[in-house]
């Protein structure tokens, strides 16, 4: 019985964390982005996925790697095309597309879609926990 309660608490915690994907972001980097690009605050690109490949963890996308390699300076990397999609980073930011995602660029089918920031791996973890809980019942 105690194992079931512990697993239920773990499951509820995991589900609760799904609602706060930005908790893993470096707040100082996010604040620097928001200070540099105030028109992007609260938009689909104002999240961890701007620089990271997932909502949690250290893995960076090409834009995040360029940001890191260039002294954590957004202005320096504006003229670059970090993801190689033929749009400069600043053009992508002005169009609220992700400059580190080759499939998301101005005019692309994904450019207007909202993203939750919850990675596929995290979703699989939640599904796995649910399955384990149901088997224990």
Give the least confident one: 1-5, 43-47, 117-121: 117-121
Burial environment of residue 76 by CB neighbours within 10 A (0 to 12, 13 to 18, 19 or more): middle
Query: pLDDT above 70 covers what percent of the chain?
Result: 72
Residues 3 and 38 in one domain: no
**1: containing domain:** 1-19+120-137
The total number of structural domains that make up the chain: 2
Residues 132 and 106 in one domain: no
Per-residue pLDDT of 50-86, as tens digits, reads 999 886 677 999 999 999 999 999 999 999 999 999 9
Kindly report the average pLDDT of the chain as a whole number: 82
Instruction: State residue 129's pLDDT score.
Output: 77
Confidence check: pLDDT of 8 > 90: no
pTM: 0.66
């Amino acid at each position: 019985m105690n194992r079931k309660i512990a697993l239920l608490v773990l499951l509820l915690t995991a589900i609760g964390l799904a609602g706060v994907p930005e908790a893993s972001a470096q707040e100082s980097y996010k604040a620097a982005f928001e200070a540099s690009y105030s028109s992007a605050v609260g938009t689909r690109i104002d999240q961890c996925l701007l620089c990271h490949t997932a909502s949690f963890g250290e893995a960076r996308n090409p834009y995040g790697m360029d940001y890191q390699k260039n002294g954590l300076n957004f202005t320096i990397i504006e003229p670059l095309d970090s993801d190689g999609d033929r749009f400069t980073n600043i053009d992508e930011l002005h169009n609220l597309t992700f400059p580190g995602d080759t499939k998301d660029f101005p005019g692309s089918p994904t450019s207007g879609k909202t993203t939750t920031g919850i990675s596929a791996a995290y979703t699989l973890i939640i599904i796995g926990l649910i399955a384990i809980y149901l088997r224990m019942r």
